[in-house]
Every structure is written in C-alpha cells, then in structure tokens.
Structure 1
Amino acid sequence: MFGPTEANIGEFFAAASSIPLTDTAFDEVAHTLTLTFHDTALTSGKPITYEDPAKHAWHGQYVQPYVLPTSFPAGPLAGTNSFISAAEVREDDGSVQVVLTLTECAQTYTAENGQLLRDESRPYLRLSFREIY
C-alpha cells in the first residue's frame, strides 16, 4: 500500500491517490523482476503532534487524522512460493525497489492496480504470475 509522507501530508487526498510511477525491469541472467516505485520512501516521517489536541477532536475524542509514521524495513522478505524464490526491498536515490527472484515456473505475469477501500483510498499494485504449459 502507498500513502502520504510527512512532507506531502497537506496535499495528500486519499480519494484521489494512486500508485506512484512504477517501472519494471527483467534480468534474464539473474531471472529477477525489479519493480521501481519512483519518488517513494520506506519511512513516511515523524508522528504528527499538536500543541492542543482538543482542536483536532472528533465527537469529543481525539483522533489522529493520519497514521504516521509508517515504515517498512529494507532487506530480504521472508517466504517463497511456486513463482518467487526470494524477494528484497531496497531504497535507492528517492525510489523504492522490490526485487523478485523468480522460479522457472514464473513465465508470465499480469499487473493490476486499484484501491483497497470503497472511498478510493489505499492504492495497491498486485502481480499475478502463471506458468505456461
């Protein structure tokens, strides 16, 4: 999932969000598929703090408007399946890369993006792999 960072939280509008510009690259020798999400980060920033939380109350109860910070650790991801033998997340020069080492079964893939919630917020990208017989 993708969301706002501390730097752009004022301009972020969840109902008009989408996944970041994404490039794919396949290395035939290493049999890796690399997804590069441009202008993204693994950590969204610091928690929001208010001098007077009562000014930001909803029905008398303080509610943090955005759940920040969010973070995702770089490095290898646990688990494998019939199509992916290893996965790693990297942050590089203002972008995030997901490097998937594919098995020989992963011969084609389909990419789909959308929104997790009905109000068109929480954009996602889903990859589906299949084997050709």
Structure 2
Amino acid sequence: SWLQTFKKAKDVYALDPSTIPNTYLKYYLYPDYVVKHTDPKHTRTDEVREGREKNVFGTAREIIRKGTTEGFGLKADAHSEYIVDLARALAENTRERFMLIVPNHGAVENFDPTAMVEIPCIVGSDWF
C-alpha cells in the first residue's frame, strides 16, 4: 500500500539524511522486504485501479455526461499544463523543449548508455 511505501521511505531517508526521500529506492535497497510484504494476488496495480483510476475515470465520465467541469473542484496546476503542452508539441510539431526521461544513448557521456536519464529534449511529431 501507499502507506507502507511512505513508511519505508522513512527507512531509506535514514540511510542518508542528506538526500531527498525517494519511494522508489526501497525496491533497490530493500528487495527482500518488498517481496515479503507484497501480495502477488493484490499488487500496487490493483490498488491504483481500485483507487485513483476508479476515481479519475469516474470523474471524467461524469464531466462528459454533464458537459462541464464546474462543481468538480478541479483546477489546473503546473503538471496539467505541462502535459497539455507536451501533447500539443507532439500533435502540432512545435519543437519545444521539455525535461523527459529517455534512454541515455550517450547523452550523458560518462553514464551507462542503456540507462534512462532525465534530460532536456526537443519534442515534435517525430518524437524527441
């Protein structure tokens, strides 16, 4: 569960308090713990489907049915604006710069070329 994930982030942070807490590191630093506390019949994917996905898609269906977002308490934030800008860059070939996580392929010379890296990318209809 997310609660367990955030509790484990506390343990990860305790290893090196000079870092920013990261919920993904538990998979690398505590793999045995993760396996022991994972139910293969009810995974994080199931939790997302039962929670956030159900709520998001349910709200989207209601907005479509009503034809308006009024009354749903929705407001645009930086992330939603970023996603719209990224979609527009892909659809309209605007060739804008975005920070994306992409295969390294030598972009960071002293780093594994097969690793994923977050770097500035020019995005258009031909991708990045």
TM-score, normalised by the number of residues in structure 1? 0.21
Structure with higher RCO (Cα < 8 A, 6+ apart): 1
Q: Which is greater in Rg?
A: 2
TM-score, normalised by the number of residues in structure 2? 0.22
Higher helix share: 2
